[in-house]
Chains A and B, each alone.
Chain A
């Protein structure tokens, strides 16, 4: 199978790889580039564990082919902390016990980040809607919703 080049910006740094044509972005990120923060749950577009942000939009990396991302800007949860300091969403997930096994967490955080990037002070309903494509088998969702609302509040306090 012929290899194809893929080149994109991942969490602020340039990445270039050769992958088999038809390789999913999830596979390229985890097994080629070594960013294991997006998780492969269902590979069917159902669970949201593989969610990443591509050019500002939430996407499922399990259903996205790596070679369609040439030139794109991609963010994953592993790029959120800065100099060892957790992002407010990561901090809030820990503080409110919104993560148990942690498998859904990177996808949840990406979905929440897109929401807060566009809607810094979301309502509870907006949070529920933003997370509606992400499945969690552990927490019962309520702590996750609280974590996102907490992160939004801490963001707006920092901005004030």
Chain B
């Protein structure tokens, strides 16, 4: 069944059109056209907006605002977003990265959405015409969210404080077994003064490893002193089972990969 596409110059008009039943927002097409091709009959109309601000990246000092329609390829190539290039390149193959948008990634169900894992570690703010929402709240409520995401904003991590790891069975491009992103602030003595750790594939959407974050605070990054954090890594997880890995396997290997990320 074909879908009717309606294009609006402004987000405001597109938001109004999205009130109609059966409509979905079309970003890069990698989620919604895929769903339609698969026979998802709940999608009967597609709405998109060509408002230019959706496609711009603005970096002012350490503050970054990425329009929701910006692609993974554009992030990976942006000279000021080096720190995030690895996470952007973790998404799909080259063609997918030319299409998949940062806004869409926020809605990608596990095992997809590796970039949103990075955004969760960075404590990003998600903007819509209705206002700004912290990413954690946004992700928790995303299933019912109707307002078009216009941008994501965050503070660029200080040099070397951001780390990202994607584990997949096929190299260089494979679906995630899991992904981990962390922002670790360190005291002058090298101990961790604050930690934010986000996990992908360990639930149906990106989640924080809060127990591991607590167990890491005040510790140095050595094998022995991260042991309590690794022991706490599975706290609250409910990983997906899919053809890539079972929930059991994901839980089993999470501490190993978290350890590698922290000791890298």
Contact = CB atoms under 8 A, between A and B. Distances in A.
Given A2-B4, A21-B5, A63-B29, A133 B99 contact: no
Nearest to B29: A63
Interface residues of B, number: 25
A19 B30 CA distance: 21
Contact of A128 (B37, B96, B172): B172
Contacts of A24: 33, 37
A65 B6 CA distance: 12
Contacts of B173: 132-133
Interface residues of A, number: 31
Interface in A1-50: 1-2, 4, 20-24, 43-45, 48
A64 interface: yes
B4 A43 contact: no
B250 to A, nearest CB: 21
Interface string A122-142: 000000111011100000000
B94 A1 contact: no
A134 B34 contact: no
A57 interface: yes
Nearest to A20: B2
B159 interface: no
A66 B92 CA distance: 22
Interface string B161-178: 000000000001100000
B95 interface: yes
A45 B34 contact: yes
B99 A59 contact: yes
A119 B131 CA distance: 43
B96 A60 contact: yes
Contact of B3 (A22, A51, A57): A22
B93 interface: yes
A45 B32 CA distance: 11
A129 B2 contact: no
Contacts of A48: 93, 95
Given A23-B2, A65-B29, A44 B37 contact: yes
Nearest to B28: A63
B6 to A, nearest CB: 8
Interface of A: 1-2, 4, 20-24, 43-45, 48, 51, 57-60, 62-65, 67-68, 111, 114, 128-130, 132-134
